[in-house]
Amino acid sequence: MKSGPALLLLRRHLLLGAGLLAGNFGSAEAAPAAKTSPKPVGPLPLVMLDPGHGGKDPGAIGASGTFEKHIALATAMELRRQLLASGRYRVALTRIRDVFIPLDDRVTIAQRQGAALFVSMHADALSDRQVRGASVYTLGEVASDQQTAALAVRENAVDRAGVSRGPEVANILGSLVRQETKAGSARMARTMVRALGHDVPLLAHPQRQASFAVLKAADIPSVLVEMGFMSNRDDEAALRKADHRKLVATAMKRAVDGFFAGVSGAKTPIG
Ligand SMILES: [Zn+2]
């Protein structure tokens, strides 16, 4: 698992620090050394944020004319700011401007840069405009429900190349790496749902699965977060506000912290 090495490095660093002191002073008084905050050895884990859509693809368009692509990028930039401020991660975005990036390329960018976690950020539309709330998606061969199946079809349709990976995906589905990645993605999804549920309304059964093309990296735990839906007036109005996007980003940052701390959510809040 990707969270393992960083944690191991941190532990090793702590042990080395204690060992050095013990060697110098030969007593248990080395213990206070642990009070200083050690910096992890080696590169910090890379978190790849993926603001959905962009350029010619606006994503969903809200009743008040809000473009999903702008909401996704603004929230991703805020999340990047918060993650970098913690000093615990490197952060990259699949796009930092209003440009179109094919779905396959988003996955490739994350793989080339060696991302330890992939978080795709969206605020799509559902056919039922009454439905609101945040939700979190992982890759599944079979969609968890009809609503999610329709969502994935629309998402994948923005880029035909994105759905052409069928055979390749089938080949890797059974691999050990794939299984570890799948477990990591599920753990991240649980952590994300729990973190979001503290601060924002959640969709009913907020942890869902479908065959989203952008989640198909075999080796990187990946989740797609619908921060709300442009099809719902309340969600749209909230996501237009910088304060609300900051709240969402803060919750997502807690989820990233939880993921790398190895915390798994035992319970999935239903809201
Ligand atoms: Zn979207």
Q: What is the CB-side half-sphere exposure of residue 264 using CA atoms within 13 A?
A: 7
- CA–CA gap between residue 261 and residue 110 (Å, rounded): 21
Cα 114 to ligand 1 centroid, rounded to whole Å: 24
Q: Mean pLDDT over residues 63-83, rounded?
A: 97
pLDDT computed for residue 10 by the predictor? 39
Closest C-alpha to 232, from 69, 101, 62: 62
Q: Mean pLDDT over residues 50-54, rounded?
A: 97
Q: Is the pLDDT of residue 67 over 70?
A: yes
3-class DSSP state of 152: helix
pLDDT computed for residue 170 by the predictor? 47
pLDDT computed for residue 21 by the predictor? 33
Range of lowest pLDDT (4-8, 78-82, 147-151, 224-228) = 4-8
* Torsion sign across C-alpha atoms 207, 153, 200, 264: positive
Cα 259 to ligand 1 centroid, rounded to whole Å: 23
- Segment holding 139, helix H or strand E: strand 134-139
Q: What is the pTM of this model?
A: 0.79
Q: What is the pLDDT of residues 90-114, one digit of tens each?
A: 999 999 999 999 999 999 999 999 9
- Per-residue pLDDT band at 42 (split at 50, 70, 90): confident
Cα 53 to ligand 1 centroid, rounded to whole Å: 6
Cα 176 to ligand 1 centroid, rounded to whole Å: 30
pLDDT computed for residue 20 by the predictor? 34
- Per-residue pLDDT band at 1 (split at 50, 70, 90): very low
Cα 133 to ligand 1 centroid, rounded to whole Å: 14
Cα 266 to ligand 1 centroid, rounded to whole Å: 28
pLDDT computed for residue 262 by the predictor? 86
Q: Is the pLDDT of residue 122 over 90?
A: yes
Q: Is the pLDDT of residue 177 over 50?
A: yes
Q: Is the pLDDT of residue 26 over 80?
A: no
Are residues 91 and 45 in contact, defined by beta-carbon separation less than 8 angstroms?
A: no
Q: Mean pLDDT over residues 9-31, rounded?
A: 36
Backbone angles phi, psi at 97, to 5 degrees: -130, 175
Residue linked to tokens 């080339």: 112
Q: Is the pLDDT of residue 33 over 60?
A: no
pLDDT computed for residue 171 by the predictor? 54
More confident residue, 208 or 141: 208
Q: Is the pLDDT of residue 263 over 70?
A: no
Cα 57 to ligand 1 centroid, rounded to whole Å: 10
Cα 26 to ligand 1 centroid, rounded to whole Å: 59
